[in-house]
Amino acid sequence: MRSEQCDVFIIGGGPAGATVGTLLAQSGLNVVIAEKESFPRFHIGESLLPHNLPLLDQLGVRSDIQSTSIVKRGIEFVSPTHGKSVRFDFARALDRRHPYAFQVRRSEFDEILLRNAESKGVEVLEKCRVTAVELEGSSTPTVTAQIDGSKRSWKARFVVDASGRDTVIANKLRTKERHPRNASAAVFGHFRNARRLEGDAEGNISIIWFDRGWFWFIPLADGTTSIGAVCAPEVFKSRKGDMEAFFNELIASSPEVSDRLKDAVREGGVTATGNYSYLSSQTSGRNFLMVGDAAAFVDPVFSTGVYLAMRGAFQAAGAVKACLARPERQDKLLKRYDRNIVKAADAFTWFIYRIRQPAMRDLFMAPRNMFRVEEAVLLLLAGGIDRRFRVQARLYFFRGIYYLTKGIHFCARLTCRKDKGAQAGLTPSMGQ
């Protein structure tokens, strides 16, 4: 078996892996990326956040990405319960330096990032599937992979797991855990001629609630629209028929989505994926770390996936360089990396795990900018998670409003039950 050496071996060539590889290669390190597929390849998750754009600038790929994308200026929330939609524009966020983002074809977006890494000196191996990672018992990890029908191995000073939902190292260490509060699954497809918003809102993402969950509606530059339904696993288990029939059933159950798709034609098949939210209880160790979806993934309602992956990749690159330069401080450096990864995900999760609650829907459908709270929430939705006190205080104030609204909902339900009980008790005597 052919054996080689490198400074850093990266498992996965998606946005996280390509970003880490680019940054490390620019620092003069010998970097190898093993990607199991051949690019371009299909991937879901087309919606970027405004705070992605400075990261694209630092990688030098913004103009390439923009040429294949449509501008996303905000988010539209649609609630049939309230009978209306509400639009939030990023230009009104508390920090207004990043007023828009892009909707991208992930096949194009990911390939641009990977080719950029290659142009910076990264050795990119496509159709290269990692079959084993040996981390223990040696100061130099060993990675074994299958490529071109033969096995190859690498001795690496450091290993970065950017394998996405394959979670190679988390599976090996058995540290992957489903999130107990947000088990969900999704089914999605791409459509042509779907009715979009008009004017400068054409590229906006729409989040459309319905009885069994929520839909995403993401317009793309080539005229197609990515549409998916996210529901509890129980909804999927109760389906009758194949996945295509089930997806059509979900679409039919939402008048808003059905209307937008009345003249549309689906392109390609229907895809389903489950266990959306998970995390690894360990995101780093001696001479390795996990980044992006390989470490954790949360519900995609706010389109955080690519942003958290790339933001984490910048932090991962810094951690790897520091660990290689000062190995005696590796434990401390990796603990700091772990804290940063958890903190970034936590910034969104409070909102994500409550987005289906009636109280949260009420607040999003009737926004108030008291003490500039709405602007602070918009900043979060744009990816502004490096927050100062003036932002954090407003977000905590919003949480207070949420809990107050939730309390009002609870009291209203309790009163309603008592009234129904009283009416039921009066019925016999009224009939006598």
- Would you kindly state where each structural domain of the chain is located, as residue ranges? 2-68+106-179+279-352, 185-273, 358-410
Helices and strands (H and E) in the chain: how many = 13, 20
Tokens at 52, concatenated: 């992605």
What are the tens digits of pLDDT across the range 54-96?
Answer: 999 999 999 999 999 999 999 999 999 999 999 999 999 999 9
pTM confidence score: 0.93
Handedness of CA 235, 405, 204, 313 (dihedral sign): negative
Q: What is the 3-state secondary structure (H, E, C) of 288-316?
A: EEECHHHCEECCHHHCCHHHHHHHHHHHH
CATH topology of domain 185-273: D-Amino Acid Oxidase; Chain A, domain 2 (3.30.9)
Question: Which positions of the chain have pLDDT values less than 50?
Answer: 429-432
Tokens at 387, concatenated: 């927050």
> Do the beta carbons of residue 133 and residue 143 sit within 8 Å?
yes
> Do the beta carbons of residue 294 and residue 169 sit within 8 Å?
yes
In Å, how far are 80, 165, 194, 248 from 263, measured between CA atoms? 21, 34, 7, 14
Q: Which pLDDT does position 225 carry in this prediction?
A: 98
**Mean pLDDT, the chain, integer:** 92
Q: Which residues pair with 406 in a beta bridge?
A: none
Q: Which pLDDT does position 430 carry in this prediction?
A: 39
Q: State the alpha helices, DSSP H only, in 133-228.
A: 168-173
CATH topology of domain 2-68+106-179+279-352: FAD/NAD(P)-binding domain (3.50.50)
